[in-house]
Structures are given as C-alpha cells and as structure tokens.
Amino acid sequence: MNEGKSALYTVASWALWPALFAAGLIGAGWAFHTGAPLLWFNVVYLSIVAAIAGFERLMPYEQEWLKHDGETFNDIAHTLLTKGGVQLAAAIGASAPMAIATVVQPAVTSPTSIWPDHWPVFFQAVLGLIIAEFGLYVAHRAAHEFLSLWRFHALHHSVERLWVVNTGRFHVVDSLFKIALSQIPLYLLGAPLPVFLWTSAVTAFIGLLTHCNIDVRTGPLDWIFSTPRLHRWHHSRVLAEGNTNYGENLVLWDQIFGTYFNPARRPPVEIGISGRVAEGFLAQLVQPFSAKGFRQILGRKPPSLKGHPASGSPRQARYEPSGNPELE
Ligand SMILES: [Zn+2]
Ligand SMILES: [Zn+2]
C-alpha cells in the first residue's frame, strides 16, 4: 500500500493508530481527574477528531472518500462550518454512555458483590471492556441479522465513504440498544463508575479511529482491536464481507463466534447498502418507524409492484435474515 512513499510516511502509517489511541486515553485520564470530567472529555475528543481530520487530508487511505469535500475555498469553509456542528453532536453522542453511567451507576445496587474492585483500575477496565464488548457484539450482530433492528442500523451503513465524521452516525434507537446491552451486565456485576468511564472512553476513541480515512497500518493489532482495516470490510456492500467484524473495540468475540474476517486483499472502496435512507436528519430519525420507510431502507418496492419482473435490485435481499444461505 505504501510503495513509493517516503520513510517518514511509512513510519507515520504504523505509528498513527497507536499514537492517536494513546493520546485519546491519556487525555481522558487527565479529564477524569478534573472537576468537570465530561466537559473536558469532550474537549479531548474534539481535539482527536481535529487531529484525525488533519491526517485524513495529509495521508488519506482512499482518495475517492475525500473527493466530495470539494477543492475550493468555499467548499472547505462550508465543510468546516457544517462539520463543526456535526462534530459537536458526535462528541456529545460519544460521551452519552458516560453521562448515563454517571447518573445510573450510583443509583443501582448490584444484586451481587463479585466485581473485583480490589484490582488495579487498569485490570478492572480491561475486564469491563471484555464484558461490555460481548454486549456490543450481540447488539451489533443482531442489528445485522434481524430486520426489526437492521431498519435502525442501516443508517450507519448507508454512508458511501468512511471518514471521521461517520463515527457518530447512528440512529438513536441503535445507539441506546447498544448502550443498554453493553452497560447492563456491568451494572449487574456491580462495576464501579471508573470502569464505565474507561470502557466508554475506549469505545469513543476506537470508534473514531475505525472510521478514519487515514492510510494507517495496524498489522498484529488487527488480532486484538477493531481497526480501520477490519471495519472497512464490515462496511462492504458484499454480504459475505459485510456481515463480519462486529466487534466495536475488541475482536475477541468475532474470533470466538467465527465472524472475524481479514483477508490479505485491500478492503473495498465501494461501500453502502442497497436500500435508500431518507435525506435530512429528522426524516432519517422517523424513517424506520413507518412501513413505507422500512421498505425504502430494505430497497423493496411497494406491495402493489410485487411480482413485477423489474421489481427489486439484485442486492435487494441483502440482510434478509431468512432465505439467504450466507446469513446464519
Ligand atoms: Zn454494522
Ligand atoms: Zn461503521
């Protein structure tokens, strides 16, 4: 991938993923010790967003995914203006799990006292991450295998290029489902608040990095973390490639349940879904709730056209949970 590039470029492509992840975690650690942890976490988060956005322009993985930003000054100015709002929303979205845990955790009395709260915080956070990741894996896989959930998750997959701004593009129902499945086991086990804060911080920064359009190399990290390379496969239009790599932070559960996918080819540039997602923020929010919107998301024709020889696209059946041998 880096043939003909300078040595500095090669070093940067190997160093950037660990460096940006570490910078985010160090910043989060500092934010958690201030008097306003959520506020300062958001500042750190936005700083990492800005750094990623800069590196996307310096060393993009896919030129095609940069193109639509436009080259002229006006385009750039508009991009900065509109993205400023999007990124603020993304930061608030990224810290939502922390905000929920900050309110809920002190109010919940765990039915058990088996959480090892005498362990160093680092090991408690790793344990919390592995447990939360199981909930994230189940929620994400279910969102791909059940149409009742895919109707919400399709919004995330409707993007046709991957870059840092895609990170927060989740339907609120999709997000709440994932937060619930990842946090409820931790509440039940009696995990303390720092575990929630750290698992949320890791999820926030890995989420930014998995969607980045930077030409990073991750090598052996692909065996542990959900890296950009693995997540680019997850966004593939090809069902057999896209219904893999469900891990949000760690790929442990993909490896255990056989959904890990990392062939030696370059992940696809052509990404997206066969259905159609509404234009406009509010329209996208309400679309999954109507029968018509649901049909649009699935790329299905209205019932009156059923049986028409021209109805449906070849990829219409993508994500059908039944009748498709590629989905178990
Ligand atoms: Zn997905
Ligand atoms: Zn994604």
Q: For residue 181, what pLDDT is reported?
A: 94
Say if CB 162 and CB 235 are below 8 A apart: yes
Query: What is the whole-number distance in angstroms between the Cα of residue 135 and the centre of ligand 1?
Result: 14
**DSSP conformation letters of 48-87:** HHHHHHHHHHHSBS-THHHHTT-SSHHHHHHHHHHHHHHH
How far is residue 171's CA from residue 167's CA, in Å, rounded to a whole number? Answer: 12
Single out the residue of 268, 269, 273 nearest to residue 317, CA to CA: 273
Structure-block tokens of residue 218: 């991750």
Calculate how far, in angstroms, residue 185's C-alpha sits from the geometric centre of ligand 1. Answer: 22
Q: Which ligand approaches the C-alpha of residue 259 most closely? A: 1
Output the CA 241–ligand 1 centroid distance in Å: 11
Q: How far is the CA of 165 from the centre of ligand 2 (A)?
A: 11
Q: How high does pLDDT run on average in the chain?
A: 83
Q: Write out residues in the chain with pLDDT < 50, as ranges.
A: 69-83, 305-328
Q: Are 274 and 306 in contact (CB under 8 A)?
A: no
User: Residue 153: its pLDDT value, please?
Assistant: 94
Cα–Cα distance between 153 and 95 in angstroms, integer? 20
Q: Ligand 2 centroid vs 248 CA: distance in angstroms?
A: 9
Q: How remote is the CA of residue 110 from the centroid of ligand 1, in Å? A: 31
Tell me the CA–centroid distance for residue 310 and ligand 2, in Å: 31
Query: Ligand 2 centroid to 140 CA: how many Å?
Result: 10
For residue 225, what are the β-bridge partners?
250
Q: Dig out the tokens for 181 from the structure.
A: 């499945």
Question: Taking a C-beta distance cutoff of 8 angstroms, is the pair 246, 254 a contact?
Answer: yes
- Calculate how far, in angstroms, residue 116's C-alpha sits from the geometric centre of ligand 2: 33
In this structure, which ligand is nearest to the CA of 145?
Answer: 1
Q: How much distance in Å is there from the Cα of 179 to the middle of ligand 1?
A: 15
User: In 3D, which of 182, 221, 146, 131 has the Cα closest to residue 231?
Assistant: 221
Distance CA 266, CA 255 (A): 20
Looking at all shown ligands, the one closest to residue 226's CA atom is 2
What is the structure's pLDDT at 77?
43
Give the pLDDT of residue 43: 92
pTM: 0.84
Q: Tell me: the pLDDT tens digits for 217-257? A: 999 999 999 999 999 999 999 989 999 999 999 999 999 99
Single-letter residue type at 288: P
Any residues with CB less than 8 A from the CB of 170 and at least 6 apart, and which? 93, 153, 155, 156, 178
Q: Tell me, in angstroms, the distance from the centre of ligand 1 to residue 266's CA.
A: 19
CA of 83 to the centre of ligand 1 (A): 23
What spacing in Å lies between the alpha carbon of 281 and ligand 2's midpoint?
A: 18
194 alpha-carbon distance from chain centroid: 22
Are 242 and 262 contacting, i.e. CB atoms less than 8 angstroms apart? no
Which ligand has an atom closest to residue 231 CA?
2
Q: Which ligand is nearest the CA of 230, by number?
A: 2
pLDDT for 110 equals 73
